[in-house]
Structure 1
Amino acid sequence: MDTPQWRLAPAATLIPGLPIEPGLSERLLGALSDAPEPFAVRLMRPLPPIPAGERVIPADQTNHSVIVGETVVVKWFARPSDDSPAPELFAHLAVVGFGRIAEPYAAVFCGEALLALVTAYLPEATDGWEWCVDEAVSGGTAFAGELGRIAAELHVAMATPSPVWPEPVRMAAGSWFGRAGEALAEALRVTEDAEDSAWLAAHEGDLRRELAPLAVAGETPVLRIHGDLHVGQVLRWRDGFAVVDFDGNPTVTEALPYQPAARDLAQLATSLEHVAQVAVKRREADPQAMVAWAWMTREALETAYVATLAEAGRSELLDRSLVRPFEVEQECRELIYAARHLPRWRYAPMGVLRSWF
């Protein structure tokens, strides 16, 4: 690959929605071992043999993902960033042997900015917002324990020392309460629907009481977490489940890189309740049945998570007193996301909050 062909990539991906030049992903793979300046490559594992041929994944709306040879995926980032956590996370997880992800092969940088990630292709993969809603409508709950085990295994892997992170776990008394309080205040401010706004205002005291444990939380273990762990980040594919999208939470600015494991668990648990709301809204599921389904799946998820940490001898990673406050904060963040980016999504967090109070 010559330098002009490489230079097309950053310019293209800086413009959201502009397609990557056909054939560029294949040429990228052929030049990973000899990238010209200003490009750099972080190789994590050797590439497997890759047949010719490309096809775009149409469901990836934020970035531009291309399957090459039905073997690997090249994920081009719409806005290359110099602070993406994904390369370090993938490198660490590859070293410690965490297998519940698409196998990472390489990260490609332009200067300091992450331009593309190369990972294994997972055949017959279905997005979590599809397969999990199907489970809710059918009343299926067996998957929930597996999700809990995967989340716990991920945190154990994150807490395992490696050359990437020799000391992956720290103790911190974080400013969790301040961040959560700001999220609540902003959710109250940006929710403009009259009925929902009035409901939130009437229950502000209840919400603040739920956040109160964060104000008295002492030191707790913190580690690198997924940071945006919901069912949509868990693919069901031919051989099981895989966690994807380690790019951080796009709705949270200046988040600390080290966070309590309870934050991931809280977001994953509340996403099951969002699934129930989606099933009611889009699939005409019975509301009471969905409340019961959400409760059962949450219980199974959290029970399996706690048991898996215990089996690994890492129960100390979870501070359970933080789970509920982080759940409330997460719903506030869902309301903020809806107000800023996707107004029609507001029904899901509002439905969850109303079911809680």
Structure 2
Amino acid sequence: MNPRSIWEGLRPAPRAGDGRTTALLTALTSEIPAPYTVRIFHPLPEVPSGATERGFDVDQTNHSVVVAETLVVKWLTPPLPLPQPAPEMFAHLTSVGFTATATPYAAITRGGELLALVTRYLPGARDGWEWCAEEAAAGRTAFADELGVLAADLHLALATPSAVFPDPVRPSPADPPWFARAEAALREALELTGGEDGRWLAAHAHLLTERFRVLADHDATPLIRIHGDLHVGQILRWRDGYAVIDFDGNPTVSDTDLFQPAARDLAQLSTSLEHAGQVAVRRRGADPAATGEWAADATRSLKEAYTRRLREHGHGHLLHDGLLDAFAVEQECRELLYAARHLPRWRYAPMGVLRSWYR
């Protein structure tokens, strides 16, 4: 096939099985016609002609195609306007030697849009909402130590200077917008959450707002480039361990500073463990009381392993743990926004967590 015809055939975005994704991969090492550009992070493995293609059977805002059980091409649907965080994050993490992720190979753009990302396929990978809910139902928490180390290693890598991020750590601003942002998330959640859940939320709004006060009057904390959407669904358990993926940012937040307190990532990861517990109760018949104890143990182990790892590397100052509770409450509000706008059936998870905190 003529390489130019391959590029001209990318509208609409390829789907699994139509062969266009495989054809594109074979064309990445040839001349790239305008207005397309390709940014390579690692050398691409060879793709055999007639390679198999399949999709992922999971809920995704975008869609991904697995090629030859070796590569994953994530098609952004629709393409996203540049700049986007993922290509820069891939370049930085590659530069500082962070490997606990699906190896990034390429970012494909068209004009001013990010079209697709190419990464390694991880054999035996299981989505975090599956394996973590399984751990919750079984009452196992040993994994939380490993996740704490993984999250700390990610933040240590993001705080390491590179040619991409020459100044990756910034001082906290004197008047950060975090309190206003959290209040706005709660206000929107109140507007979009109806029924008994909405009445419960309105009755407890003053308590939630009190949790936010520390965001307006806080001790200084350094800011780093964080993951921005760090939950267990972004952590794959695969043949060789765990891998953090999806550096696209939080879909419920727009126009936010890419530099944030490390506590924001850790708070979201912690709340996602509690969400996994809610999934275990709803879908696996787990006992609610026992699962609540599991969530408390797992989140405690996660934080302890995370802080221990930072201190081992002389960077304990990256975490201001006084911000964790406030960011956790804000995250639950954002989960309600995500449910209202994208996945209504998800509302039970953040509401279950909020009710467990304010019984």
Query: What is the aligned partner in structure 1 of residue 55 from structure 2?
Result: 57
1:307-328 deviations in whole A, cap 9, x for unaligned?
A: 0111111111111111110000
How far apart are 1:4 and its partner, in Å? 3.2
TM-score (norm 1): 0.95
Structure-2 change in CA distance of 1:301 and 1:160 (3 Å): same
Query: What is the aligned partner in structure 2 of residue 72 from structure 1?
Result: 71
Distance 2:312 2:74 in 1: 35
> Is residue 335 of structure 2 the alignment partner of residue 338 of structure 1?
no
Query: What is the aligned partner in structure 2 of residue 234 from structure 1?
Result: 235
Query: What is the aligned partner in structure 2 of residue 314 from structure 1?
Result: 315
How far apart are 1:56 and its partner, in Å? 1.8
Give the aligned residue type for 1:6: W
State which of 41, 44, 49 in structure 1 corresponds to 2:41: 44
Matches within 5 A, 1:186-265: 186-193=188-195, 195-265=196-266
TM-score (norm 2): 0.94
> Is residue 274 of structure 2 the alignment partner of residue 276 of structure 1?
no
Distance 1:148 1:99 in 2: 16
Give the aligned residue type for 1:97: G
1:206-256 deviations in whole A, cap 9, x for unaligned?
A: 111111100102432111111111000000001101011111111111121
1:291-311 deviations in whole A, cap 9, x for unaligned?
A: 000000001000000001111
Distance 2:52 2:92 in 1: 29
Matches within 5 A, 1:93-242: 93-173=93-173, 174-193=176-195, 195-242=196-243
Distance 2:314 2:143 in 1: 24
Distance 1:37 1:332 in 2: 43
Task: Please list every run of 5 or more consecutive structure 1 residues that lacks an aligned counterpart in the other structure.
Answer: none
- Paired residues of 1:187 and 1:333 also in contact (CA < 8 A): yes
How far apart are 1:257 and its partner, in Å? 1.1
Q: Which moved more, 1:78-87 or 1:227-236?
A: 78-87
Give the aligned residue type for 1:235: L
How far apart are 1:115 and its partner, in Å? 0.9
Distance 2:19 2:326 in 1: 48
- Paired residues of 1:12 and 1:20 also in contact (CA < 8 A): no
- Paired residues of 2:17 and 2:54 also in contact (CA < 8 A): no
How far apart are 1:19 and its partner, in Å? 2.6
User: Partner of 2:9: helix, strand, or coil?
Assistant: helix
Distance 1:347 1:166 in 2: 42
Q: Which moved more, 1:176-185 or 1:53-62?
A: 53-62
User: Partner of 1:117: helix, strand, or coil?
Assistant: strand
RMSD: 1.4
Give the aligned residue type for 1:295: A
How far apart are 1:354 and its partner, in Å? 0.8
Aligned length: 351
Give the aligned residue type for 2:206: G
How far apart are 1:20 and its partner, in Å? 6.0
Distance 1:171 1:151 in 2: 21
Give the aligned residue type for 1:50: V
User: Partner of 1:89: helix, strand, or coil?
Assistant: helix
1:14-56 deviations in whole A, cap 9, x for unaligned?
A: xxxx736722222222222321111101111112233341322
- Paired residues of 1:56 and 1:64 also in contact (CA < 8 A): no
Give the aligned residue type for 1:38: P
User: Partner of 1:172: helix, strand, or coil?
Assistant: coil
1:318-341 deviations in whole A, cap 9, x for unaligned?
A: 111111100000001111111222
- Paired residues of 2:3 and 2:27 also in contact (CA < 8 A): no
Give the aligned residue type for 2:74: K
How far apart are 1:64 and its partner, in Å? 2.4
Q: Which moved more, 1:136-145 or 1:198-207?
A: 198-207
User: Partner of 2:12: helix, strand, or coil?
Assistant: helix
Distance 1:288 1:98 in 2: 38
Distance 1:343 1:223 in 2: 32
How far apart are 1:75 and its partner, in Å? 1.4
- Paired residues of 1:54 and 1:68 also in contact (CA < 8 A): yes
Distance 1:201 1:68 in 2: 48
User: Partner of 2:47: helix, strand, or coil?
Assistant: coil
- Paired residues of 2:56 and 2:65 also in contact (CA < 8 A): no
- Paired residues of 1:102 and 1:119 also in contact (CA < 8 A): yes
1:81-101 deviations in whole A, cap 9, x for unaligned?
A: 123210000110011111110
- Paired residues of 2:63 and 2:75 also in contact (CA < 8 A): yes
Distance 2:66 2:307 in 1: 36
State which of 22, 28, 31 in structure 2 corresponds to 1:26: 22
Identity, % of aligned positions: 56
